Structure 1
Amino acid sequence: MSGRGGELAVAALSGYGIGEVFTPAGEHVPAIHDAARAARMRVVEVRHEQTAVFAAEAVATLRRRPGLAVLGAGPGVTNAVSAITAAHFNGAPVVVLAGRAPRWRWGSGSLPALDHVAIVGSVTRSAATCTEVRNIGTDVRAAVLAALTPHRGPAFLDLPMDVVFCAGEAELPPATLPPPIEPDPAAVARAGALLAAAERPVIVAGSDVYTGDAIAALRECAETWRVPVFGTGLARGALPAGHPLAFRSCKRAALARADLVAVLGTAPDLRLGGGTGARLIHVVDAPPAGAPADPPNDDDTVWVAGDLRLVLSAMADHRGVRADHADWIELLRVAEDTARAQEAGHLADDREPIRSARLYAELRRALTDEAIIVGDGGDVVSAAARHLDVGRPGSWLDGGRYGNGGAGLGYALGAALACPDRPVCGLLGDGAAAGSVLEVESLVRHHLPVVLVVGNNGSIGTAGLRGADDRTPGLRLEKVVAALGGAGETVATARQLAPALRRAFESRVPYLLNVLIEPRADPA
């Protein structure tokens, strides 16, 4: 194919379903912007580079295909490093194309003269510089394949100005997908044997179960084995609320008493409550970098790597004598019902200032099963996870294992574009909101009616670092949103919550509810 470098780069992305480019303004990459518009891709201009990458991550995870961010050189790349790192931790196939000074000016004071590859190499699946127009097709396709190959993650490619703006010819390899990784049958058999022998098993399912399109296989496995399931991240809602094997509120008790925990598509980290003494099955979509080809397994731990659909389907097909779990399921159901009964008192608490649990009680009524929930902020996300049920998988986005504060606006923007027929609700702490609220202007400009609910306890900063005299109560964040073209209001009493939420979702504009909650940790 013949054309300018930007045209060749965009052509090389065809076949992967990419329909939008997230990008701030920048003088190094307009050739890519022009080519994307000519190819009928939507160019979504945002105000900050990290927003572009966060939005691309949201699209990549929700749509299960590559997301695309295009950045300027120098500060354009370094501004996005935290967001690229979040995509790395969350296994999101984000392709990042970045401008760079012309090759003939490297080392001669060109602005900005910076080796991006050295900076992002440790947090990407691949990082490279395209040095010839003729290589653009193969280099871009290589980046896409690197991002999509399990374990998925971001891929970075530099495009110097004398490559992206110049004309030439390049070969465009066919758009291909990486083949699924076949699991080791012996490891699957060991996992099946452990599960068959367990009397009190628990499944903890993570986001990779959703992004690996393994939700149906998870349900089949859980229902075949009759194992209780706790969903995290995008796997929340994998078994709908009301399913006899779906649990949320008794996870701590379940993990404390389980004799086997199967962790699927996520890491067995502190979100398991500090670990358990149970046997462990850990299923991942690919061997971690640097892991031995045959990782150690023993009587208490089985580690399985492979396509999650294949692994879970094979485990469901395991034959042999199986322990009966009816008493265990009933025990957990009693614990779940007890926890929810205790929770109900907090949810109904009408005292002032507003208790955070009371906010989530109203959100339960306002959010449909189709809603996408975006969490940004430590206390807000943990409280929402305790109190909110999710109607379907692929409906919960937060900072994940990296815990990047300030990701919410970018995630919400990407979610609204990826799923325009679904309402998007961002749940933000006042610190997260104050640090990113100016990006609402991008929501306004692109006509994205995201509802932002801020749990404002006036306590910006990490607990223990600020004293009572340092609080900033009542920040009028909704006025900032109104000044940017959106709308909003302050909510100071519990009885104002329901009508305010109704106005927000009916407004069809970016709308911020500044909910003034109690200035201390929620007791629930």
Structure 2
Amino acid sequence: MSGEAGLTGEGGLLAVAALRAAGVDTVFTLSGGHIFSLLHAAARDGMRIVDVRHEQTAVFAAEGAAKLSRRPGVALLTAGPGVTNGVSGLATAQANGSPLLVLAGRASQRRWGSGSLQELDHVPLVAPLTKRAATVTRTDEIAAEVGAALRTAAAPHRGPVFLDIPIDVLHQRASVPPPSAGPAAPPDPGDPDEVARAAAIVAAARQPVLVAGGDVWWGGAWAALRRCVEALRVPAFMNGQGRGALPPGHELAFSRTRDALKEADAVVVVGTPMDFRLSFGRFPQARIVHIVDDPGRRAAHVPVAAAPAGDLAAILDAMAVWPGARDDHAEWIGRLRDRERARRAAERAELESASSPIHPARVIGELGALLDRDAIVVCDGGDFVSYAGRLLDSHQPGCWLDPGPFGCLGVGPGYAAAARLLHPDRQVVLLLGDGAFGFSAGDVDTLVRHKLPVVMVVGNNGIWGLEKHPMRKLYGSDVAADLRPDTRYDLLVRSLGGDGETVLRPQDIAPALKRAFASEVPYLVNVLTDPDVAYRRSANLG
């Protein structure tokens, strides 16, 4: 209970009060004895509690909620295996820079070392994957620690924070001041000299290119990005969760001509690391500008000509109004636009393929024709979802969720649950490889129990395509790369309370998708695709 003097209650109540003070209204969990105090306090508070079938899904769902809301997501995990089951979710959030709080139970502090159930020191396990990992050992410190953890998770550069609380500490009572969200840190506009240097490099280039990554979304900088590319007349590509920051119809938005990075004499990378997705920053002819939200994110493995760090919107707006002379880059933009049109035209053969077995691109083509402009697309898989990444356009920011650079499969049902909860009036589509579906298929039950209708589309080619085809190319054979052909994943979804169907012919894809969108339950369209079709990859993983 609360009063003028502050807040009094057991540890779970104090933790939940701190969550509520920070604006958290939903938690994702799998029940366990070490977190009963947290769960009952959340229920009494009226928080939405989404319980799942595997702790990895709880963490993925919390991260998905963070990705969509640009605020910290929260997962409550029980001790021991509850925490170890959530480790892949923490690693994924770290790689994605997603603000996340994992609040966990812990074996009794009073009996520590005596062999209590699920006694495990979690902190050393998760410390390398988090911005901060700690154990709260006093009940009167719980609210302050939870509030501080949420602020740490959200501060640049964002990421996951882990706190565990011993069960006896959670069940004790304390009186504390009323929790508050705390003051927001003022935006950092970046070093003006470094910002001016970056703008001058773009303006003086003959063939500049800009790549916008997920931090443009996280930083609310998509409008500033548009002002910047329009003012400096620079072709722009969107990477990862940066997709949709510039709509595909914009004259400076490109997606099919990423080989322009090899020809560019200036490459501006905004809000994303120069990792394998960007050839590790190896742009042979270019001066590189790396714009980041925190100095610690600056690339150290490639030479950069300028590297402004701070609030991305402020930096991009300052570049837009840079007073120096600039080229209109018209000839370069025109060449890229002609190439972009030609490549989009060439895609039609795959998108409209009548081949049998079904070409995976045909599935994406039929889906794209049915998607609203604000549809949320969740990707969980290898080859099949790679077609979506290449062929589907994102028309608005915040509409694309994929595992990110850590590449962890199994994110799909958690991300999709978060999408449906946060955007109940939008289309939510979960694209799955048949291999990826096996990681968290049980959490279709979560979607059913919580009445979260999601359209699931499985590209079912009966193999681990991302492994089988490269292995055959390298070795002439493959190992451990086959699944059971023609598995009826739709029947599994039906048995869990959803619905679905299997599609064998390309002309039946669209009608099946329409039935899925009209359904009011989780619905899986199981499309049998051609195992001999290999996605053409250009990324060098190492």
Provide the TM-score with structure 2 as the length reference: 0.93
1:236 is aligned to 243
User: Do the aligned partners of 2:383 and 2:535 also contact (CA within 8 Å) in 1?
Assistant: no
Q: The residue matched to 1:87 in structure 2 has which SS?
A: helix
Alpha-carbon spacing, 1:468–1:521, altered in 2? closer, same or farther (3 Å): farther
1:114 is aligned to 120
1:14 is displaced (CA, Å) by: 2.2
Q: In the aligned structure 2, how far is the partner of 1:473 from the partner of 1:82? A: 28
Q: In the aligned structure 2, how far is the partner of 1:467 from the partner of 1:133? A: 53
Q: The residue matched to 1:85 in structure 2 has which SS?
A: helix
CA RMSD, Structure 1 to Structure 2 (Å): 1.8
Q: In the aligned structure 1, how far is the partner of 2:438 from the partner of 2:504? A: 18
> Aligned ranges for residues 52-67 of structure 1 at < 5 Å?
52-67=58-73
Out of 260, 264, 268, which is 1:262 matched to? 268
Q: How many residues get paired?
A: 519
Q: The residue matched to 2:247 in structure 1 has which SS?
A: coil
1:214 is aligned to 221
Q: In the aligned structure 1, how far is the partner of 2:220 from the partner of 2:385? A: 25
Out of 321, 324, 328, which is 1:324 matched to? 328
1:349 is aligned to 353
Alpha-carbon spacing, 1:470–1:168, altered in 2? closer, same or farther (3 Å): closer
Point out 4+ residue stretches in structure 1 off by more than 6 angstroms.
295-298
User: Do the aligned partners of 1:355 and 1:522 also contact (CA within 8 Å) in 2?
Assistant: no
Give yes or no for the alignment of 1:451 onto 2:455: yes
1:469 is displaced (CA, Å) by: 9.3
1:112 is displaced (CA, Å) by: 1.3
Paired AA for residue 229 in structure 2? A
Paired AA for residue 53 in structure 2? R
User: Do the aligned partners of 1:21 and 1:44 also contact (CA within 8 Å) in 2?
Assistant: yes
Out of 131, 139, 149, which is 2:137 matched to? 131
> Aligned ranges for residues 13-32 of structure 1 at < 5 Å?
13-32=19-38
> Aligned ranges for residues 33-48 of structure 1 at < 5 Å?
33-48=39-54
1:246 is aligned to 253
1:505 is aligned to 517
**Post-superposition CA distance 1:13-72 (Å, at most 9, x none):** 123221111000111112111111222210100011110110001111111111110000
**Post-superposition CA distance 1:464-522 (Å, at most 9, x none):** 27469945211111111000000011011100001000000001110111110100234
1:154 is aligned to 160
Q: In the aligned structure 1, how far is the partner of 2:381 from the partner of 2:359? A: 17
Paired AA for residue 227 in structure 2? E
Q: The residue matched to 2:17 in structure 1 has which SS?
A: helix
> Aligned ranges for residues 156-171 of structure 1 at < 5 Å?
156-171=162-177
User: Do the aligned partners of 2:102 and 2:161 also contact (CA within 8 Å) in 1?
Assistant: yes
Out of 111, 117, 121, which is 1:105 matched to? 111
1:72 is aligned to 78
Out of 223, 234, 246, which is 2:230 matched to? 223
Give yes or no for the alignment of 1:491 onto 2:491: no
Out of 90, 96, 101, which is 2:96 matched to? 90
Q: In the aligned structure 2, how far is the partner of 1:321 from the partner of 1:297? A: 28
2:427 is aligned to 423
Give yes or no for the alignment of 1:476 onto 2:488: yes
Q: The residue matched to 2:210 in structure 1 has which SS?
A: strand
User: Do the aligned partners of 2:453 and 2:523 also contact (CA within 8 Å) in 1?
Assistant: yes
Q: In the aligned structure 1, how far is the partner of 2:532 from the partner of 2:408? A: 22
Which sections of structure 2, spanning at least 5 residues, go unmatched?
1-6, 472-476, 537-542
Give yes or no for the alignment of 1:442 onto 2:446: yes
1:381 is displaced (CA, Å) by: 2.5
Q: In the aligned structure 2, how far is the partner of 1:470 from the partner of 1:258? A: 41
Paired AA for residue 245 in structure 1? L
Farther off after superposition, 226-235 or 484-493: 226-235
2:292 is aligned to 284
User: Do the aligned partners of 1:368 and 1:391 also contact (CA within 8 Å) in 2?
Assistant: no
Identical counterparts, % of pairs: 51
User: Do the aligned partners of 1:16 and 1:65 also contact (CA within 8 Å) in 2?
Assistant: no
User: Do the aligned partners of 1:370 and 1:392 also contact (CA within 8 Å) in 2?
Assistant: yes
1:178 is displaced (CA, Å) by: 3.1
User: Do the aligned partners of 2:57 and 2:440 also contact (CA within 8 Å) in 1?
Assistant: no
Out of 370, 387, 399, which is 1:366 matched to? 370
User: Do the aligned partners of 1:356 and 1:522 also contact (CA within 8 Å) in 2?
Assistant: no
Q: In the aligned structure 2, how far is the partner of 1:178 from the partner of 1:89? A: 23
Q: The residue matched to 1:28 in structure 2 has which SS?
A: helix
Paired AA for residue 80 in structure 1? G
**Post-superposition CA distance 1:246-283 (Å, at most 9, x none):** 1111112x112111111111111222246311111111
Q: In the aligned structure 1, how far is the partner of 2:31 from the partner of 2:483? A: 36
1:102 is displaced (CA, Å) by: 1.2
1:185 is aligned to 192
User: Do the aligned partners of 1:134 and 1:171 also contact (CA within 8 Å) in 2?
Assistant: no
User: Do the aligned partners of 1:77 and 1:98 also contact (CA within 8 Å) in 2?
Assistant: yes
Paired AA for residue 261 in structure 2? L
**Post-superposition CA distance 1:340-379 (Å, at most 9, x none):** 1111111111110000111111011111111100111121
Q: In the aligned structure 2, how far is the partner of 1:69 from the partner of 1:296? A: 34
Q: In the aligned structure 1, how far is the partner of 2:234 from the partner of 2:380? A: 31
Farther off after superposition, 9-18 or 428-437: 9-18
Give yes or no for the alignment of 1:200 onto 2:170: no
Q: In the aligned structure 2, how far is the partner of 1:490 from the partner of 1:197? A: 55
User: Do the aligned partners of 2:461 and 2:485 also contact (CA within 8 Å) in 1?
Assistant: yes
> Aligned ranges for residues 309-320 of structure 1 at < 5 Å?
309-320=313-324
Alpha-carbon spacing, 1:502–1:30, altered in 2? closer, same or farther (3 Å): same
Q: In the aligned structure 2, how far is the partner of 1:311 from the partner of 1:468? A: 48
User: Do the aligned partners of 1:148 and 1:178 also contact (CA within 8 Å) in 2?
Assistant: no
Q: The residue matched to 1:366 in structure 2 has which SS?
A: coil
1:296 is displaced (CA, Å) by: 11
Q: In the aligned structure 2, how far is the partner of 1:117 from the partner of 1:469? A: 35
1:170 is displaced (CA, Å) by: 2.1
**Post-superposition CA distance 1:99-122 (Å, at most 9, x none):** 001111111111211111111111
Paired AA for residue 302 in structure 1? A
User: Do the aligned partners of 1:135 and 1:171 also contact (CA within 8 Å) in 2?
Assistant: no
User: Do the aligned partners of 2:17 and 2:179 also contact (CA within 8 Å) in 1?
Assistant: no
1:391 is aligned to 395
User: Do the aligned partners of 1:98 and 1:157 also contact (CA within 8 Å) in 2?
Assistant: yes
User: Do the aligned partners of 1:16 and 1:66 also contact (CA within 8 Å) in 2?
Assistant: no
Q: In the aligned structure 1, how far is the partner of 2:422 from the partner of 2:533? A: 34
User: Do the aligned partners of 2:244 and 2:396 also contact (CA within 8 Å) in 1?
Assistant: yes
Q: In the aligned structure 2, how far is the partner of 1:140 from the partner of 1:371? A: 34
Provide the TM-score with structure 1 as the length reference: 0.96
Q: The residue matched to 1:360 in structure 2 has which SS?
A: helix
Q: The residue matched to 1:428 in structure 2 has which SS?
A: strand
**Post-superposition CA distance 1:210-238 (Å, at most 9, x none):** 01111111111011111111112222111
